[in-house]
Structure 1
Amino acid sequence: MFTGQIPLVPPRTAPSDSPRVRVAALGGGHGLSASLAALRRLTTDLTAIVTVADDGGSSGRLRAEYDVLPPGDLRMALAALCDDSDWGRTWRDVMQHRFKGHGDVPSSLENHAMGNLLIVTLWELLGNTVDGLRWAGALLGARGTVLPMSGTPLHIRGSVLAQGDDGGLVARTVSGQANLAEASRIGMIESVELEPADAPGCPEALEAIELADWVILGPGSWYTSVLPHLLLPEARQALETTPARRLLTMNLTTQTRETTGLSAPDHLRVLRRHAPDLRFDAVVADPSAVGDRDAFREAAGELGAVVFFDKVGASPGRPVHSPLRLANAYHDVFTTFSSPDSASEVS
């Protein structure tokens, strides 16, 4: 019977050389998983804050059928925090396992991720989203905590500039994260917004931002995983007022399904346009993803940030972050800013 208390799990220890740093990492999907896989190598005082606007695939089905937060990005964050041990790897694979039907009989579980079902089960049994995620993290032996950005399921919609019948550009509204992720098929995303626009932030997530030493945003789908954290009023205010330092992690390519036609500096300008009062201390970017470095430094400077160029890709030609390389890049940033005068020397 559930008591609400988190049971003991296999012992976990932080790396011997990990800095005593509290980190809140914001994002969603594969991008947030990449930053978490790197950060868990540096610290166990780690909180993942996850977008909750997904409406596609298994998450979309569960969200519609059970009126719950979409569990998919939360599941991926938990899996990314699993320890690199037999226990951690086994539970990571269990969480990520997807059911596939066999034969001619349709399966009601088709394409559902096991972790999504487990998370929704815990939510139903406990009646509390945060407690359910804590139980899941305890089961996995996760190196950190996973929280939703809001306890309210959110919808995202965007204004997309598309070619009209007369050949000119017209603004079209695209609703839903799954649809917006494919927006480049019809045009270029101009702006995005959340519904409800005034949804409350998750109190535990807001507290984690306030108490962190570092807040890390990105990498990830720029309009549907990164920007939503800046569109929720309470989350944006927490990011603007936290005493923590703020770090932005760039993607390994600018030409994604959401950002076709945007340069690396354009990505930074999109953030500034949606959250003009938000400032960053540092930006981590792989030099292969930045064409004009001077223009990029200038755009970063408009956000108050210095740029750390570092090779963080897993392999040439694949826009996938290497956890070890990204961990080294984060470590360099943390170490640089721990010296009061050294950050200004970075270019």
Structure 2
Amino acid sequence: MTDSLRVWRRMTMPDLVRVHRYQSLPEQGPKVLFFSGGSALNKISRVFKEYTHHSIHLVTPFDSGGSSARLRAEFDIPAVGDLRSRLMALADETVMGQPEVYELFTHRLSQQEDAPELRMQLQQLVLGDHPLIQTIPNPMKALIQTQLAVTQARIHDDFDLRGASIGNLIMAGGYLNNQQQLDPIVFLFSRLVKTLGDVKTTLDASLHLGVELDNGEIVLGQHNITGKEKDILPSPIKRMWLNKGLRNIMPTNQHIGDDRKDAIESADLICYPPGSFYSSLLANLMPEGVGRSICQNSNPKVYLPNLGVDPEQQGLSLMERIQRLMTTVLEDVSGAPAFSPLDYLLLDDEYNYGAVDGQQLHDLNIIVIRTPLMAGKIDKYDERLVAKALLSFA
């Protein structure tokens, strides 16, 4: 039996020597793991790939709004929008990558054109006649056509293609063509666009979010929670769970795969990044095995809070968000955790996050790090400053 040891080092913030070393050899960069969803982390991710090609992005598959909602309703599949956008954020954009595939995956069909015209454009893509797909060499072109043909064959005649992401349509076809599993098609398209990092859904499962509000009201569906597509919730969120479907209250859960467990336990740094507090961050911490894996990792865990207004965190101070984050992780752990779910609170040195209770953080063994992270931007982090700060922990 071996004992776990935790080794501490003196840290400089930002550690420009360390950062320069990673930038010189990103192929040997650290495994920095992010629990995220949505687009909040995409700009940071695009910068991060300059420093390491080994970042790990566990994104939520529980979204139920936008064009992903139409695909979920049509095929009962996990949400693929966040997955696709993160793959694109980490894609190799140099001449060594596949810029034609990148352009196709990021293209959306028009919101204004009528249904017959959009159907014709999809048919052109399937046949390989559309300008966006003509320049893609085989066998990639044929592979993409195959997935799109599956989607085309399976959607109903009244399926709304307005604003549809081509990348989402391709991934949906791949899911349907691979025994209703996302992982094989994600792996395949990661290779196609030469993703400089590892992107996966936390769960390869088609589940939704449910919340109970402080006023007792129950709300099902991410699109009803965020306060972006629908009105802001009338009361703060009291608790959240994973739900089977959108019609009835049916709490459920599943255990993460062994590859996710290994990725979390072996990461050099775990980051709880900015994004919608419940539907992006906490949602990723809810599947069985996530909390246990986090607390088996002895390396640093860092929380970088939101700036500006997040409708989901109404009624929650910074200290309450920290407590809720830690509680969500620890609910998955039986007995005393081997290691803490959170070690550092990373804050901009000038931004007002609200009251920071130094004594409470001390009692929780959480160290506050203040460093420039905004570079004069209003309610926005500077992605390069954030990347350098996070890499200083790794």
TM range (shorter): 0.7 to 0.9
Write out per-residue CA displacement over residues 15-61 of structure 1, whole angstroms, 9 at most, x where no aligned residue.
31556422222111123424423432321112211111111111111
Q: Which moved more, 1:69-78 or 1:307-316?
A: 307-316
Q: 2:262 maps to what in 1? A: 207
Structure 1 residue aligned with 2:222, among 170, 177, 181? 177
Q: Does the residue aligned with 1:82 lie in a helix, a strand or coil?
A: coil
Mapped contact 2:44–2:384 kept (Cα < 8 A) = no
- Identity in percent: 24
Amino acid at match of 1:263: S
CA contact (8 A) 1:252 1:288 kept: no
CA gap 1:76/1:301 in 2 versus in 1, 3 angstroms: farther
Change (3 A) 1:289 1:299: farther
Residue in 2 aligned with 1:124? 176
Match of 1:190 in 2: 238
* Equivalent residue pairs, number: 310
Q: Do 1:41 and 1:327's aligned partners in 2 also have CA atoms closer than 8 Å?
A: no
- Residue 346 of structure 2: which of 280, 284, 289 is its match? 284
1:75 and 2:84 matched: yes
* Alignment-mate amino acid for residue 196 of structure 2: R
User: Structure 1, unaligned stretches of length 5 or more?
Assistant: 1-13, 162-169, 335-347
Any idea what SS the aligned residue of 1:31 has? coil
Supply the distance in 1 between the matched residues of 2:191 and 2:98 (Cα, whole angstroms): 11
Residue type at the aligned position of 1:330: L
Query: Structure 2: which 5+ runs fail to align?
Result: 1-21, 119-159, 244-250, 331-336
Contact 2:61 2:207 in 1 (8 A): yes
CA contact (8 A) 1:50 1:146 kept: yes
- Cα distance change on mapping 1:124 and 1:323 into 2, 3 Å: same
More displaced, 241-250 or 130-139? 241-250
Please state how far the C-alpha of 1:146 moved relative to its aligned partner.
1.0
| Shift in alpha-carbon separation, 1:301–1:132, aligned structure 2, 3 A | farther
For 1:293 and 1:188, locate their aligned partners in 2 and report how far apart those are by CA, in whole Å. Answer: 19
Deviation at 1:263, TM superposition (A): 2.6
Corresponding residue number in structure 2 for 1:4: none
- Letter of the structure 2 residue corresponding to residue 41 of structure 1: E
What secondary structure is seen at the aligned counterpart in 2 of 1:184? Answer: coil
Q: Which 10-residue stretch deviates more, 322-331 or 299-308?
A: 299-308
Higher relative strand content: 1
Q: State whether residues 222 and 259 of structure 1, in contact with CA within 8 Å, keep that contact through their aligned partners in structure 2.
A: yes
The equivalent residue for 1:311 is 372
* Pair 103,154 (structure 1): closer, same or farther in 2 beyond 3 Å: closer
Does residue 250 (structure 1) correspond to residue 305 (structure 2)? The answer is yes
Are the equivalent residues in 1 in contact too, given 2:43–2:383 (CA < 8 A)? Answer: yes
Instruction: Give the drift of 1:178.
Output: 0.7
Alignment of 1:1-347 (within 5 A): 15-16=23-24, 18=26, 20-85=29-94, 87=97, 91-105=101-115, 107=118, 108-127=160-179, 128-161=181-214, 170-182=215-227, 184-195=232-243, 196-253=251-308, 255-276=309-330, 279-292=341-354, 294-295=356-357, 297-313=358-374, 316-317=377-378, 319-334=379-394
The 1:245/1:177 distance shift into structure 2, 3 A limit, reads same
Partner in structure 2 of residue 5 of structure 1: none
Deviation at 1:67, TM superposition (A): 2.0
Residues 225, 233 of structure 2: 8 Å contact kept: no
Amino acid aligned to 1:171: G
Task: Give the match's secondary structure for 1:187.
Answer: coil
Residues in 2 aligned to 1:77 and 1:314: alpha-carbon distance in whole angstroms? 24
* Secondary structure of residue in 1 paired with 2:63: coil
Q: Match of 2:312, as an amino acid?
A: E
Once the two structures are TM-superposed, the CA of residue 116 in structure 1 deviates from its matched residue by 0.9
2:368 aligned counterpart, secondary structure:
strand
> Given that residues 326 and 342 in structure 2 are in contact (C-alpha distance below 8 angstroms), is that contact kept between their aligned partners in structure 1?
no
> 1:273 offset after TM fit, Å?
3.5
Q: For residues 113 and 45 of structure 2, what CA distance do their matches in structure 1 show?
A: 38
Change (3 A) 1:265 1:46: same
**In structure 2, what residue type is equivalent to 1:262?**
L
Higher relative contact order (CA 8 A, sep 6+): 2
CA contact (8 A) 1:312 1:321 kept: yes
Structure number with larger C-alpha Rg: 2
**How much does 1:323 deviate?**
2.1
